[in-house]
A and B are shown apart, each in its own frame.
Chain A
Amino acid sequence: MKTKKPFFSAKNLTVAPYTVWMTLFVLIPIGLVVYFAFTDSTGSFTLENLTYIKKYAGTFWLSVELAFVSTVLCLLLAYPMAYIISKMPANKQGSVILLVMLPMWMNFLIRTYAWMTILENNGIINRFIGMLADLIHVEFNGFEMINTNGAIVLGMVYNYLPYMILPIYTVLTKIDNSLIEAARDLGSDSVQIFGRIVFPLSIPGVISGITMVFVPAVSTFIISYLLGGGKTYLIGNVIENYFLGSSGAINYNVGAALSLLLMVMIVVSMGIMNHFDKDSEASGGGIIV
């Protein structure tokens, strides 16, 4: 039963500005990235860019590794927090969530600079422990924290933790309490309730949380630059280099090839993740604060 509707129906009209906007500024730019990835500087077709970026396999792997560790840490830290907030009295939840969001209103470069102050060899942590060590007459040479991969991971966890807490919290508050009561009435203990009801129902939130942490983490170039001492290039740094020419040569083609690879990798991993998330429509809702 197909009824052809006129194209300019009210329904289409409301979507029209959106369609135009997204086509112009999302689809076409991505088309351009693909175009640049498969052409050389003269504009003719080539696969050279894609073969050239093989040399960045190690960098790619390191970026994924650090982002993965950060995401797991974020999840482990955020889930209990989101759970605790969702169990608070309703009137307090809003404020606590705002408190979680508040640091994001401070510029993230400044927050990262502050971490440098904390982590440096003569930084706050080392000086504090040094003082304690002095008190009990133990020799303390300071931990080496700044300019390590550990510092980069810490920076990622810190910066993206709220993005993990918020979606999980949102999903947890939506869980119908009567389900839990029913389970309890039927004799489930709290471990069972969590494992069989609460956690499975919160998966959409977990997945949007993972997305919102992993994606920016894998592509960052600032955190690695500031906390890694400029010694560890992640894939984001390499892309930045090619597009802004900070090391002397601009090469959109290789940069686009790297971006394309990054994009494909993320789409694939999202696809795999969505596989675990049966109700894909709900996952869209999981991002909501």
Chain B
Amino acid sequence: MKKHLHKLYGFLIFAFLYAPILVMVVYSFNGIKSRSVFDGFSLQWYQALFDDRLILESFYNSLIVAALSALIATVIGTFAAVGINKMKNRPKQAFLFVNNIPVVNPDIVTAISMMILFVFFLSVTRAMEMGFWTLLIAHVTFNIPYVVLNVLPKLRGMDNNIYDAALDLGCTPIKAFLKVVLPQIMPGIITGVIMSFTLSLDDFIISYFNSGTSFQTLPITIYSMTKKPYSPKINALSTLLFVFVLILMLIVNLRQSQNEKSKNKGGKVQATSPVVKRVIAVALSAVIVVSCAFVLVRLNSTSEIVLNVYNWGEYIDLTVIDRFEEEYGITVNYTTFDQNESMYTKVISGSADYDIVIPSDYMISKMIEEDLLAELDFDNIPNYAYIDDAYKNLEFDPENKYSVPYTWGTTVIMYNDKYVDPEDVADKSINLLWNEKYAGNILMFDNPRDVFGLALKKSGYSMNSLNPDEWAQAAADLQTQKPIISAYVMDQIFDKMISEEAYIAPYYAGDWLIIAEENEHVKCYIPAEGANMFVDSMCVLKSSNNKEAAELFINFMCETEIAVLNAEAIGYATPHSGAMAELDPEITGNEIIYPDKEVLSKTEVFVNLPQDVLTQQSNYWIDLKIESSEE
């Protein structure tokens, strides 16, 4: 009876632990691009995964950082443990206290404290940039304490007489350490390696703050897919990884039970069986060797031109990059961000390393103001001629010296006509988002600029208002709206609208097409009060050392064939006249994606707000988010 109870309990816990894994695996075979609706079996995401170099590269980066940081932390930590073990009580306590700081400190505090250090240090010395090295240092730092904590008890449990005996018998201290001490503390060291590796592989928070832009790990890639729908490619990758680890475990188990049979049973209980550990250790050392090779290559390859491109997540046809590399022999290091603001923070904190960024309008004017962008040499970008004049010389870059438009669009309000009454949408108003009839089924953006833009426009104010009273009213309106909002989200809008989890949501015009393709009931309109028109443009950073290569890249992106590929992959409107002519007329004729002049005349492009208004916005935004916490 008791035994069955045990089994049942164990089963329930494992069901809990593995339920999401099962969901993840199942949805990796989804026929459509959705996280919540399953439609037909398909292997397309596995195919797509191997075509997606960004995901593969960042996965590879994750493995490298995990292996290297585990290795370095183990060496430093093991030696430290040996030394600490021999200390007298006082200094020992002091060391253990410091050792516990990264363990006990919240990740976010560790992350920001190191970020401050790096920003501080890098801005003074300009010796290097946020990227691979800062990330590695951060990971080593949070791994070391775990190694010490794992090795120390093994040292404590060791009989010192054996070591002394070895010395008496003529061993040198080093030899005695290697032959006598090391084998005894080996289990602790291996556990330390495994733990470090696992922690490092799964870390998001510390990496998010310390990675810079030139080197990105898998969690950051996943997180940056916020503007575009979540891709089951990630599920496919995780499923493969899961199957791989599972097979590894089964093999180990098999070998182990064979070993067990040949050995006589009994003996001490061990935390993790030595065979399991050995196999994992072998696997890890293989990864470590590969990553050391990687670092050597990285150190030696400085002469070659590497172009760092920093773009929104899922905002390019990735084959374009391969084609560029093939054609020009320039390596492209492509990384992604989730928000204009986080991109900006990364750029000002790291500097020096990036070449091309693709921010939105208001961020571009901010960066121009702060002298972060380089003036482009348009002689190197002849394809600029293809850009429609309507998108040149816009307010954020009045003389169009710094940017080449990449995509544009407006915000729209989507609704599901199954649930939303026709009379409520007849006036095409922003007020639909405030309609209490649909309480609990309305979504909002999760970025302050878009949210406040809508709220300001709702009262007939400019989205770029500088009037504090207008802002106060917008903030108050948003507070009254909050109770009827289901969630403030970005990429989740796709899934939630498709699965009819929500009926009403604002989003970007091009994305509505993707949603409407999956759910024909989702309709949309450009708000009559006026909407935001955004232009995301390619810019070169002033700090870039490869300005000409960067211009070459921009020019390449403006080739008609390439612009068509990108427009089709992203779904947003293209400013490229050549691409317009080649795209499906059904898309270019769509008046939501390509609205006519009259509608456009009412739209507003965001401009950079002065710092005091931004601070105000930030305060209102945080207040909006924390207020309901008291419910």
Question: A-side interface residues toward B, CB under 8 Å?
Answer: 10-15, 17-19, 21-22, 25-30, 32-33, 36, 56, 58-59, 62, 77, 80-81, 84-87, 90-91, 93-118, 120-124, 144, 146-147, 158, 161-162, 169-170, 173, 211, 215-216, 218-219, 221-222, 229-234, 236-241, 243-252, 255-256, 259, 262-263, 266-267, 270, 281, 284-285, 287-289
Contacts and interface: CB of A to CB of B under 8 A. Distances in A.
A252 B98 contact: no
B272 A84 contact: no
Given A17-B79, A245-B344, A161 B499 contact: no
A173 to B, nearest CB: 5
Contact of B191 (A114, A122, A211, A288): A288
Contacts of B95: 15
B492 interface: yes
Q: What's the dominant secondary structure at chain B's contact region?
A: helix
Interface hub of B86, B116, B195, B628 (most chain A Cβ within 10 A) = B116
Contact of A17 (B76, B230, B630): B76
A27 B95 CA distance: 12
Interface in B14-48: 14, 16-21, 23-24, 27, 35-36
9 contacts: A25-B114, A105-B245, A110-B234, A114-B24, A116-B35, A219-B109, A231-B487, A248-B614, A259-B109
Given A231-B488, A238-B622, A104 B149 contact: no
Interface in B96-151: 96, 98-110, 112-117, 120, 137-138, 140-141, 144, 146, 148-150
Given A104-B198, A249-B615, A289-B272, A95 B152 contact: no
A177 B253 CA distance: 26
Q: What's the dominant secondary structure at chain A's contact region?
A: helix
B590 interface: no
B82 A28 contact: no
A27 B609 CA distance: 38
Given A93-B269, A122-B499, A287-B149, A244 B621 contact: no
A30 B108 contact: no
Contacts of A21: 76, 140-141, 144
Contacts of B492: 116
B489 interface: yes
A87 B2 CA distance: 12
A229 B106 contact: no
B488 A117 contact: no
Given A91-B260, A232-B628, A238-B622, A107 B238 contact: yes
A33 B116 contact: yes
A100 B17 contact: yes
A15 B80 contact: yes
A18 B77 contact: yes
A218 B106 contact: yes
A216 B141 contact: no
Contacts of A22: 98-99, 141, 144
A248 B448 contact: yes
A233 B501 contact: no
A103 B17 contact: yes
Contacts of B160: none
B242 interface: yes
Contacts of A106: 21, 24, 238, 241-242
Contacts of A116: 35-36, 492
B589 interface: no
A246 B614 CA distance: 11
B170 interface: no
Interface stretch (B202-210, B301-309, B426-434, B575-583): B202-210
B626 A59 contact: yes
Given A91-B260, A285-B149, A107 B222 contact: yes
Given A97-B272, A248-B449, A256-B116, A266 B104 contact: yes
Q: How large is the interface on B (under 10, 10 to 19, 20 to 34, 35 or more residues)?
A: 35 or more
A233 B626 contact: yes
B35 A117 contact: yes
B273 A94 contact: yes
B359 interface: no
B626 A56 contact: yes
B465 interface: no
Contacts of A173: 269, 271
Nearest to B91: A15
B561 interface: no
Interface string B280-321: 000000000000000000000000000000000000000000
Interface in B330-344: 339, 341-342, 344
Contact of A289 (B106, B191, B629): B191
A90 B152 contact: no
Interface in B78-100: 79-80, 82-84, 86-87, 95-96, 98-100
Given A94-B273, A111-B21, A120-B499, A249 B242 contact: no
A33 B113 contact: yes
A243 B271 contact: no
Give the 4 A-B residue pairs with the shortest CB-CB distance, closest first. A229-B487, A219-B106, A18-B80, A230-B488
Nearest to A34: B113
A250 B202 CA distance: 27
Nearest to B203: A108
A120 B202 contact: no
A122 B96 contact: no
Given A14-B80, A110-B235, A170-B271, A32 B117 contact: yes
Interface stretch (B5-13, B396-404, B526-534): B5-13
Contacts of A26: 98, 101-102, 141
Interface string B339-354: 1011011000000000
A287 B105 CA distance: 15
Contacts of A246: 339, 341-342, 447-448
B179 interface: no
B345 A250 contact: yes
Interface string B174-194: 000000000000001001001
Contacts of B256: 91, 94-95
B465 to A, nearest CB: 14
A81 B270 CA distance: 17
Contacts of B459: none
Contact of B202 (A95, A104, A281): A104
A103 to B, nearest CB: 5
A121 B440 CA distance: 11
Contacts of A255: 112
